[in-house]
C-alpha cells in the first residue's frame, strides 16, 4: 500500500497494482480478504493519466470479476462505470493505450460471464460485442474471442439480439479473427468458429440470410470474404 502513494512514480504504483493482481489471480478464495482494502485502489487507478497503470488496474478488475464471486458483486456497477471511462477514452485506439483498452474489454466480458444477474444484459453484452475484435493484447484476445465463441454456441439470447439483429456483427468479428491466422484465436477456437459459420448458413431462413449478406458486405473486409466465406475459411484450420 505505501507503494501506491501519490508521491510514488508511475512505475512503482503500477508494480503495486500488479502485485495485488497476481495475488488475486493465484490465491483466489484466499485473496478475498484483501478485496475491501485493494479494490478501491484499482477503481481509482482507472482515472489515472498513465495507460500502463490503467492496464494493470483493469486487468485486476477482470481477475476480481472472475474469482471474487459475491465479494465483488457490490462493486459491479462502479466497475462498469470505470471500465467505460477506459473504453471510451478518446485515445483508446492509440498504440500506447491499446493494451489498457483490450484489458478493459476483457474485464467487461468477465462481468458479462460471471455477474449476469447484476447487470442489464441487453445493454452491456451488445456494448461488449461492439468492442470486438480486440487485436493489441494477443493473450486477452484469445480469451475474449473464445468467450464469444462459447456464447454463440449456446445461443446466448442477449448476444444474438432480437431477431438475430447482432448476428452480422458476430460474423464480422469471426471473419476478422480468422483472417488474422493464429494471432487472435487458438486453433481450437478458430475451428469452432468455422463450424458455427457453417451451422449458421444451414439454419438461417433464406430471407434472413439475404439480409445478413447485404449487411456483411457493408464491412470493408468482408466485401472480399463473404462470397466464398464458407469455402475459404477451411484454409485457416
Q: What is the pLDDT of residues 163-219, one digit of tens each?
A: 999 999 999 999 999 999 889 999 999 999 999 998 887 766 554 444 444 444 444
- pLDDT tens-digit readout, 61-98: 999 999 999 999 999 999 999 999 999 999 999 999 99
The single-letter DSSP state of residue 181 is T
**C-alpha to C-alpha distance for 157 and 163, rounded to whole angstroms:** 10
Q: What pLDDT is recorded for position 191?
A: 95
Res 230: pLDDT: 47
Burial code of 171-208, b = ≥16 C-beta within 10 A, e = fewer? bbbbbbbbbbeeebbeeebbbbbbebbeebeeebeeee
Answer whether 50's CB lies under 8 Å from 4's CB: no
Degrees to nearest 5, angle at CA 144 with 97 and 173: 90
Count, residues in the chain: 237
Question: Contact 126/173 with Cβ under 8 angstroms?
Answer: no
CA quadruple 34, 88, 126, 122: dihedral, nearest 10? 70
The pLDDT, as a whole number, for residue 231 is 45
Q: Which numeric CATH code is attached to 1-119?
A: 1.25.40
For residue 55, give the DSSP letter. H
Sequence spans of domains, the chain:
1-119
Amino acid at each position: 500500500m505505501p507503494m501506491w502513494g501519490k508521491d510514488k512514480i508511475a512505475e512503482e504504483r503500477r508494480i503495486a497494482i500488479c502485485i495485488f493482481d497476481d495475488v488475486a489471480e493465484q490465491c483466489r478464495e484466499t485473496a478475498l480478504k484483501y478485496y475491501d482494502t485493494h479494490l478501491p485502489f484499482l477503481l481509482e487507478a482507472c482515472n489515472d493519466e498513465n495507460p500502463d497503470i490503467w492496464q494493470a488496474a483493469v486487468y485486476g478488475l477482470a481477475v476480481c470479476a472472475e474469482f471474487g464471486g459475491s465479494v465483488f458483486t457490490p462493486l459491479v456497477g462502479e466497475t462498469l462505470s470505470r471500465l467505460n471511462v477506459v473504453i471510451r477514452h478518446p485515445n483508446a485506439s492509440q498504440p500506447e493505450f491499446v493494451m489498457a483498452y483490450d484489458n478493459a474489454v476483457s474485464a467487461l466480458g468477465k462481468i458479462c460471464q460471471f455477474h449476469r444477474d447484476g447487470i442489464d444484459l441487453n445493454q452491456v453484452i451488445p456494448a461488449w460485442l461492439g468492442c470486438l475484435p480486440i487485436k493489441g493484447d494477443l493473450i486477452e484476445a484469445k480469451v475474449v474471442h473464445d468467450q464469444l465463441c462459447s456464447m454463440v454456441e449456446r445461443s446466448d439470447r442477449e448476444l444474438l439480439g432480437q431477431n438475430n439483429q447482432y448476428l452480422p456483427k458476430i460474423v464480422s468479428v469471426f471473419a476478422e479473427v480468422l483472417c488474422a491466422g493464429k494471432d487472435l484465436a487458438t486453433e481450437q477456437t478458430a475451428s469452432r468458429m468455422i463450424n458455427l459459420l457453417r451451422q449458421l448458413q444451414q439454419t438461417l431462413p433464406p430471407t434472413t440470410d439475404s439480409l445478413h449478406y447485404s449487411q456483411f458486405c457493408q464491412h470493408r473486409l468482408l466485401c472480399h470474404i463473404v462470397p466464398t466465406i464458407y469455402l475459404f475459411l477451411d484454409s485457416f484450420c
